[in-house]
Amino acid sequence: MDNQTNTVEIERRNIDVIELRVAQDEDKKPVITGYAAMFDKLSEPMFGFREKIASGAFAASLRKDDIRALFNHDANYVLGRNKAKTLKLKEDDAGLHIEIDPPDTTWARDLQESIRRGDISQMSFGFIVVIDEWQHNKGKDSIRTLKEVKLFDVSPVTFPAYPQTTVKVRDYLNALQTAETPPDGQGALREEGRVARLVKRRWQLK
């Protein structure tokens, strides 16, 4: 089933990207390249579900949205912008590929050196879910597939945030409510209560 996600909260996902590197373009200028997301790769188990990104999830956003490349998701450190043609994004068979033309500033040069040394090797992207799909398997982790997202930024990051977010936990509980339930109608509600108690103990959610 497809669920239209009614939220304006920005979620973030983080990945290790061996391909993140500093290269040179034809004019010998530095270019930061890599993947901000990989398609069809299941995340680690997270409170009863796992997540993956479907091919094409970024397509609509890439056509119409104003997207930035930031350092550590900090708007004070803008590495590039697609509207300025200093950030190129494209979907290929593997995932969301990026190419950044970084500014000639001290902090950007420092970042390039950190990438060359391997001190920074991870990326993150910020987004809002437009369409997701939940698959519930009895006795197994549920699978959430991101079918379409609105992309805000892509960021090399020093310390990636823990991939679990309160937004995803809430979406999982909502998905359980709409899943098929036993005749007594209480199966999903019992599961929701169990997961909610676990989440509250672990994350002290309100």
Rounded CA separation 76/94 (Å): 30
The Cα angle at residue 46 between residues 181 and 159, in degrees rounded to 5? 155
Rounded CA separation 199/205 (Å): 7
Give pLDDT tens digits for 14-73.
665 556 899 887 777 899 999 998 899 887 777 778 889 999 999 999 999 999 999 999
Average pLDDT of the chain, as a whole number: 80
Domains in the chain: boundaries = 2-161
Burial of residue 175 (CB within 10 Å: 0-12, 13-18, 19+) is buried
pTM of the model: 0.73
Q: How confident is the model at residue 164 (pLDDT cuts 50, 70, 90)?
A: very low
Give pLDDT tens digits for 74-106.
999 999 999 999 999 999 999 999 999 999 999
Task: Indicate if the alpha-carbon torsion angle 26, 103, 107, 96 is positive or negative.
Answer: negative
Percent of the chain at pLDDT exceeding 70: 70
- Retrieve residue 156's tokens: 């090399």
- Retrieve residue 4's tokens: 């239209």
